[in-house]
Structure 1
Amino acid sequence: MTTIYAAMRNRLLVCTDGDGTGSDWTATAHLEGRDLECVAGSPAAPERAFVGTLEDGLFRSADGGDSWERLETDAFVSDAVMSLTVSPHDPDVVYAGTEPSRVYRSTDGGDSWTHLEGIVDLPSEDDWFFPPRPDTHHTRWLEADPFDPDRLYVGIELGSLIIGDVGGDEPTWRERPPGSRRDNHSLATHPDREGRVYSAAGDGFAVSDDGGEHWEHPQDGLEHRYCWSVVPDPADPDRILLSSASGASNAHTAATAESYVYRREGDDPWERLDDRGLPTGDGVVRAVFATTADGTVYGANNRGLFRSSDFGDSWDRVEIAWDDGLETQTPRGLVVVP
């Protein structure tokens, strides 16, 4: 059975494929009325998932999304949980990021949390800000390295890409490595390419081949450079899907939306994937993506939930109820647990 967690603006959709064929989906709504920001899960612990909210803290399910409990997070600086990730090395190790920017770690599946200190002591912190709420900033994305369990990539919106060594008693942080983006919205790594890191940022796409120490900016063919979600093909680290728009209002607001999906293969220019079954263009907010180990890609925008088995060449709608309220929402995150 496949379970998809789609974090929308004011509800979490838990979608299950009961017969495993992709043709018999059911969806239930949870955490309705909450202001959702992120979602995380792991195939290594398929019954467990986490959701972060803007004002109500952190929630966990231990039964595949059927029920949710609010976790005690006294260590957190606020109830604004903006990012989550589960370690690929140990599903009991979970990282959370907040607004204002802090990073926390649990080593017991979310029962208790420890503050990984030092983020806001970095020299560039005075320059960090989040434009809609300019007096603050937040940890927009967390990505654990699949080869080094002590290495953590942190995207601050807006201000910095940070590399963390979090294995010791006192974590160490290095900010703004050469070529890194400032407005990182999502980061990704590849399970078969050590050192490969991808960034989808408000100031463009970037890729690193040395664990984030240096970054390059292949932009040829990428006409829309306010980038949001990035996923590599599990079978080919040089094959990448990216959602993007020309700016924030075109990306996040349904009334003014105009977003697109691009694919890059090897050193070829980016190709815009229009008319493939996944809605793009006018009225469509930027998509969020998630992949499975077999290369299936799922994408969500305000028009629905979609599935591709050929890495973006064609998409089929996941047949779940999609009411009018969802047409105006911008998906916050997507997790697939096969």
Structure 2
Amino acid sequence: MTTVHAALRNRLLVCRGSEVDDWETTERLEGYDLECVAVSPAAPDRLFVGTFEDGLFRSTDGGETFGALEAGFESEAVMSLAISPHDPDVVYAGTEPSRVYRSTDGGDSWTHLEGLTDLPSEPEWFFPPRPYTHHIRWIEVDPFDPDRLYLGIELGALVVSDDGGETWRERPPGSRRDNHSLATHPDREGRVYSAAGDGYAESDDGGDSWSHPQDGLEHRYCWSVVPDPVDPGRVLVSAASGARSAHTASTADSYVYRRDGGTWNRLDGRGLPMGEGVVRAVFATTETAVYAVNNRGLFRSSDFGDSWERLAIDVDDGLETVTPRGLVALE
């Protein structure tokens, strides 16, 4: 049995099933403006969802019920979440404006990790639609070092900590400025992937320096990135020509690319909708499959993008106007 949690702009879809046509879908947190979702395979019943105006929610029964957490954040806009792969009780939350909080008890209490906004580049950070602020779009915990954190500031910097958030360093050489999502690989120490508004980037030294393999990537406003669980040289990204063609259904024109260690190839005609009218996909992986959600549905690939099947989840037609925000999958 697989469970997929898809955070849309106005609800959370909790999807459970195995075969293509055998899925049960329930909707939770209807009417909230969702931003992110996180769950650890080590604690699958404990689910966290961040919202833009109503703070942080937690479920302890696999998404059946949710309660609002009195986390004490300075802002109710929770934009990003990450659970440590080393300890499911260690949870990180990023907000707008850019602040990072850590819980070591599964979300019962939180500590503000200070010093982030003291970085020299902070006056240059801004989020274009709301130009007088900025936020932490992504948090990634290194799978080889629990104290090494990677943050994507939208828009402004990639930020790294080597000591669990006690100190921060910004903009390592070659890093992108507009990082939307980051990923690491459990079998390749030092490998970090970035999908950014200013292009794709990857690092082989734990984020200390970055390269820009772009050959074949015709759309370079990148949004979601996942590596192949069994091959760190293979990676998927969703991309568009700009923000309007990525996020807004009425003007959407987005694509999915795969890199097999060399040039990028667009995955046209494989069963995953892309192109005109399709917003950028959000990805999640398990040990055996990659999942993608866009405004045309939820899809699964067992061959890392060579072919996709649309899963029969029960969602009303309003999905076509909604932009997905987050996705997690558990098998």
Q: Normalising to structure 1: TM-score of the pair? A: 0.97
- 1:9 maps to 2:38: no
Q: Which residue of 2 aligns with 1:141?
A: 138
| Pick aligned residue for 2:251 from 252, 256, 266 | 256
| Pick aligned residue for 2:283 from 279, 284, 289 | 289
Within-5 A mapping of 1:316-327: 316-327=309-320
| Pick aligned residue for 2:302 from 282, 286, 309 | 309
Once residues 21 and 183 of structure 2 are traced to their aligned partners in structure 1, the CA distance between those partners, rounded to angstroms, is 29
Q: Which residue of 1 aligns with 2:187?
A: 192
Once residues 70 and 240 of structure 2 are traced to their aligned partners in structure 1, the CA distance between those partners, rounded to angstroms, is 37
Q: Which residue of 2 aligns with 1:228?
A: 223
| Pick aligned residue for 1:44 from 42, 46, 49 | 42
SS of the aligned residue for 1:172 comes to coil
Deviations 1:136-179 (A, max 9, x none): 00000000000000000000000000001344xx7010000000
| Pick aligned residue for 2:64 from 66, 78, 84 | 66
Q: Per-residue deviation at 1:321?
A: 1.7
Once residues 77 and 163 of structure 2 are traced to their aligned partners in structure 1, the CA distance between those partners, rounded to angstroms, is 22
Once residues 43 and 126 of structure 1 are traced to their aligned partners in structure 2, the CA distance between those partners, rounded to angstroms, is 38
Q: Which residue of 1 aligns with 2:265?
A: 271
- 1:83 maps to 2:80: yes
Once residues 83 and 3 of structure 2 are traced to their aligned partners in structure 1, the CA distance between those partners, rounded to angstroms, is 16
Contact 2:20–2:312 (CA under 8 A) maintained in structure 1:
no
Once residues 283 and 212 of structure 1 are traced to their aligned partners in structure 2, the CA distance between those partners, rounded to angstroms, is 35
Q: Which residue of 2 aligns with 1:176?
A: 171
Q: Per-residue deviation at 1:293?
A: 1.6
Runs (5+) with no aligned partner, structure 2: none
Deviations 1:270-313 (A, max 9, x none): 0000111110000000000000022x000000000000000001
Q: Per-residue deviation at 1:337?
A: 1.6
- 1:53 maps to 2:51: yes
SS of the aligned residue for 1:278 comes to coil
Once residues 148 and 74 of structure 2 are traced to their aligned partners in structure 1, the CA distance between those partners, rounded to angstroms, is 23
Q: Which residue of 2 aligns with 1:124?
A: 121
Q: Per-residue deviation at 1:322?
A: 2.6
Q: Which residue of 1 aligns with 2:208?
A: 213
- 1:300 maps to 2:293: yes
SS of the aligned residue for 1:326 comes to helix
Once residues 73 and 127 of structure 1 are traced to their aligned partners in structure 2, the CA distance between those partners, rounded to angstroms, is 28
Bigger mean CA deviation after superposition, 232-241 or 157-166: 157-166
| Pick aligned residue for 1:150 from 117, 127, 147 | 147
The residue type equivalent to 1:30 in the other structure is R
- In the alignment of these two chains, the number of paired residues is 331
Q: Per-residue deviation at 1:324?
A: 2.0
Query: Percent of counterpart pairs with the same letter?
Result: 76
Once residues 329 and 71 of structure 2 are traced to their aligned partners in structure 1, the CA distance between those partners, rounded to angstroms, is 25
Q: Which residue of 2 aligns with 1:100?
A: 97
Contact 2:33–2:51 (CA under 8 A) maintained in structure 1:
yes
Once residues 273 and 21 of structure 2 are traced to their aligned partners in structure 1, the CA distance between those partners, rounded to angstroms, is 20
Once residues 308 and 60 of structure 2 are traced to their aligned partners in structure 1, the CA distance between those partners, rounded to angstroms, is 31
Q: Which residue of 1 aligns with 2:23?
A: 25
Once residues 172 and 298 of structure 1 are traced to their aligned partners in structure 2, the CA distance between those partners, rounded to angstroms, is 35
Contact 2:20–2:310 (CA under 8 A) maintained in structure 1:
no
Once residues 265 and 273 of structure 2 are traced to their aligned partners in structure 1, the CA distance between those partners, rounded to angstroms, is 16
* CA root-mean-square deviation: 0.9
Once residues 147 and 21 of structure 1 are traced to their aligned partners in structure 2, the CA distance between those partners, rounded to angstroms, is 34
